[in-house]
Amino acid sequence: MSDVPEDLASETPQRPRRGDGPRARPRRRGAAARRDPEEGRVGRTSPETAGDEGGDAEVSGSVQPGVPAGVDADQEKVARSVALRLLTSAPRSRAQLAQAMAKKEVPVDVAERVLDRFTDVGLIDDAEYAAILVRTRHVERGQARRAIAQELTRKGIDAETAQEALSVIDRDDEDAAALELVRRRAGASAGLPREKRERRLVGMLARKGHHPGSAFRIVRAVLDAEGVAATADRDDGAPGDGWGA
């Protein structure tokens, strides 16, 4: 593909006059648009120019009519900087990065080109991001599928990808996580009336996406077991027939 813009295709360089030295090659005005502003070389691959395999400058060379080549290159530089800064601190979804670029007023077409490059080399992977989020929210925070699904949606993960990531959690997993949560939190409300403790613990599970029916069942089971244990402790400490003998 010729790098010469259409409006220059019909121009013929003037022949130098005899004695003026070797004939100079005409300078192509489109060359500046193909130069990577950070590398200083055409076609050089780097983490920040992800996806430009083999010196392919097709993406960075697409300049909008009436827009200076340097403007388009500067916008891509901003987009790459935003993506790298966010990905360095934590995994992000494609939608999160696109939103961050929009806040920096990066044009949508420029943002999409950069996001495509990062996706091609694996720096953006919504499926892996969703799987990580599901594991951490369920194992570390005891959240159920409903709460995790809502968070995945807020972070821009599509329904199919979210469903695939959530498929590793079943109802038994949710109940086990809820039971562990209630056992850990029950001690904080010790000494309060039973009904008040139930409301607090059930509300905590509901905020984490657990079904109300399961929440009530698990909370009552934990509190019942706690009461049985307390009664057994009192019985063990009560004086018997031979106490003090």
Residue-wise pLDDT tens digits, 85-136: 999 999 999 999 999 999 999 999 999 999 999 999 999 999 999 999 999 9
pLDDT of residue 27: 45
Q: Kindly report the number of other CB atoms within 10 A of residue 11's CB atom.
A: 9
Residue-wise pLDDT tens digits, 176-235: 999 999 999 999 999 999 999 999 999 999 999 999 999 999 999 999 998 765 555 555
Mean pLDDT for 41-54 is 37
Non-local CB neighbours of 113 within 8 Å, separated by 6+ positions: 59, 76
The rounded mean pLDDT for the chain is 76
Following DSSP, what letter does each residue of 119-165 receive, concatenated?
HHTTS--HHHHHHHHHHIIIIIH---HHHHHHHHHHTT--HHHHHHH
pLDDT of residue 25: 45
pLDDT of residue 72: 73
Q: Report whether pLDDT(45) > 50.
A: no
Beta-bridge partner residues of 42:
35
pTM of the model: 0.64
In this structure, whether the domain defined by 125-169 belongs to CATH 1.10.10 is answered with yes
Q: Kindly report the number of other CB atoms within 10 A of residue 227's CB atom.
A: 11
pLDDT of residue 73: 83
In which residue are the tokens 């057994």 written?
Answer: 232
pLDDT of residue 151: 97
Residue-wise pLDDT tens digits, 63-76: 444 444 566 789 99
Q: Report whether pLDDT(242) > 90.
A: no
Instruction: Please report which helix (H) or strand (E) contains residue 148, including its range.
Output: helix 145-154
Mean pLDDT for 73-86 is 94
Residues 58, 61, 65, 66, Cα dihedral to 10°: 170
Residues 210 and 178 sit within 8 Å (Cβ to Cβ): yes
Residue-wise pLDDT tens digits, 135-173: 999 999 999 999 999 999 999 999 999 999 999 999 999
Domain boundaries, the chain: 31-40+59-124, 125-169, 170-234
Q: Report whether pLDDT(57) > 70.
A: no
Q: Report whether pLDDT(83) > 80.
A: yes
Mean pLDDT for 27-53 is 38
